Copies of this chain bind each other. A is one copy, B any other.
Amino acid sequence: MDFQPNARCQAYLTKLKQFMQQHVYPLEQQVTEENHRLNHHGNWQDWKVPSPIPSLKQKARQAGLWNLFLPDDKLGQGLTCLEYAPLAEEMGRVLFAPEIFNCNAPDTGNMEVLYHFGNEQQKQAWLTPLLNGEIRSVFAMTEPDVASSDATNMQATIVEKGDNLVLNGTKWWTTGLGHPGAKVAIFMGLSNPENEKHARHAMVLVPLDSKGLEIKRMLTASQDYDAPYGHGEMQLTDVVVPKANLIMGMGKGFAIAQGRLGPGRIHHCMRAIGAAERCLELMIKRGFAREAFGKPIIKLGGNQERVAKARIAIDQARLLTLNAAWKIDTYGVKQAMTEISAIKVVVPNVLQEVSDMAIQLHGGAGVSADFPLAAFHAAARVLRLADGPDEVHMGMVSRLELAKYQKGIQ
């Protein structure tokens, strides 16, 4: 056992931290304010990317801090899941940072799908521009009319018709759908209703300008549109795409999803850990800067215990996530199901708690947009539902735990 990040990881981390210090933090407030000014409304057609973002992306790419998530040493930097994890944490400290490094969800997950399961034509058409950060993509899975916590409930349909596939259904919580650069969806639907539960669905690439695809609205998530990304609801009515847009094959949707979600959860969780560290930092700084009842507020009542609890909760969450990343790298996603579900329960809750404490210590400023705390708190709340609610992941951990004994019993 060794808890030291390896040299490669350490080198990237140093470089990334410098980049954040030099280029990202100094613009954080400006980008946030510009984004609020331009985009804090529901007319997503008018949303614009805040002006500093494109040049920040270019700088990051030039610095070699680009596509760090992709475990390919030509297309990405060839980092393992465990090597990438601390980098994702660092990016998570600023809400808009992941995009700067072309490491933002859901594009990362979509790129991984195309990288692992796409054919050459699909890669050329979509993976290349995504890796270049030229376009953006969405993942259309969740549906408004069923409990999506049980993904096998999915009702949207994919039907073969000659050389084409015909798609119908309504999707929502399609993250990124409002982004000006969004061009393509990976759409998941029922392709083989006759198969067993986990072989009934397929994934298909659908250009967002397809005929019959209508974006109905953007949804607020905890009262905010998350512009310029947005969480959209879209309806597909007899949308026709060529069979060449099918990924892997009919009925392969869950097989792909499984592979996609493992590393994606590590990324989500490490970013959330970075966010939690940021909240703790802000909390302590504010706690020293303000006085009440004759003392810096960090010294009042239970505030010091809260600092300790936050420190400990974050450290535990990080170790659990790094261990999960290591397990994915070493034994594969299927052997790491307990670990992956465990972090998906723990980490968003830690962020929710730590951001809640930090808000509380900031007083009114904490719930305002003058600090990123309210946004982190909301992000945590949403993340407890995204990629499966806490309860589904607790169910998975429990089922695997009980299975150890059931074998013995039979």
Contact = CB atoms under 8 A, between A and B. Distances in A.
Contacts of A311: 338, 342, 397-398, 401
B364 A142 contact: yes
A291 B150 CA distance: 8
A77 interface: no
Contacts of A374: 220-223
A409 B296 CA distance: 13
A29 interface: no
**Interface SS of A by simple majority:** helix
A384 B147 CA distance: 32
A330 B316 CA distance: 19
Contacts of A406: 288
Contact of A385 (B9, B142, B221, B364): B364
A144 interface: yes
Contacts of A36: 42
Q: How large is the interface on A (under 10, 10 to 19, 20 to 34, 35 or more residues)?
A: 35 or more
**Chain multiplicity (copies):** 4
Contacts of A222: 222-223, 367, 374, 377-378
Contacts of A375: 223
Contacts of A37: 42
A153 B292 contact: yes
A146 interface: yes
A345 interface: yes
Interface in A118-151: 142, 144, 146-150
Given A149-B292, A172-B364, 17 more contacts: A1-B2, A3-B323, A3-B327, A149-B297, A220-B374, A222-B377, A223-B369, A284-B401, A284-B405, A288-B409, A298-B402, A301-B395, A308-B401, A309-B394, A315-B323, A319-B319, A319-B323
